[in-house]
Amino acid sequence: MIQTRSWIATSGGPHLLIADEQLSHWRGLEGWHDHTADQSDYARACRVTTWLGSIACHHGKAVVLSGDAGDIAWYSNDHADGGFLVQWIGVDDERLIEPALRTPQLRDLLEGSAAEQLEWETGASGKMWLIDAADRGCDLSGNHQALALLPGSYLAKAAYYRSSGLSMVVREVCRSR
């Protein structure tokens, strides 16, 4: 299958969405012993079990994308004020994803009471990094991606979406007004 997006993998733990201004302060696996007791950045991220969570990082917060295993790709909107973080759970053809993001069924899931929600802030630059939580921010060894957002407050909503040939966790990112 031809892939049209950059899919960010992890080494088994959660993904992280972190502001450019906080990135160099993220220590990843540094100091990690086991995720149930230590206070390493990676262990704290691993303790988040939902699709959306946040943990402290330096003078800000990092958004933890956990709950399911699967690579994540960014589908931005045309206005640089949001988009979708799509987590690949089971996809027969990547070309099915983009049309699914515009379906009333997905909209209903994201607006429903079962959808997870999280409010968060970008840094002053608006640049956010999608990384493996195990990586050190100052030495990104795995694949990663920079997301160019307008600076400000955002609301993320997460839901599980399934249709014929498609199974994914969708996290919609929208700028708060």
The domain segmentation of the chain, as residue ranges, is 15-175
- b/e map of 12-51 (b: 16 or more CB within 10 Å)? ebbbbbbbbbbbebbbbbeebeeeeeeebbbbbbbebeeb
By percentage, how much of the chain surpasses pLDDT 90?
76
| pLDDT on residue 12 | 86
1 pLDDT more than 60: no
Segment 45-82, tens digit of pLDDT: 999 999 999 999 999 999 999 988 899 999 998 787 89
- Coil, strand, or helix at residue 140? coil
Who's near 79: CB < 8 A, 6+ residues apart? none
With bands split at pLDDT 50, 70 and 90, how would you rate the model's confidence at 91? Answer: confident
31 pLDDT more than 80: no
| pLDDT on residue 35 | 54
Q: How far apart are CA 94 and CA 84, in angstroms?
A: 14
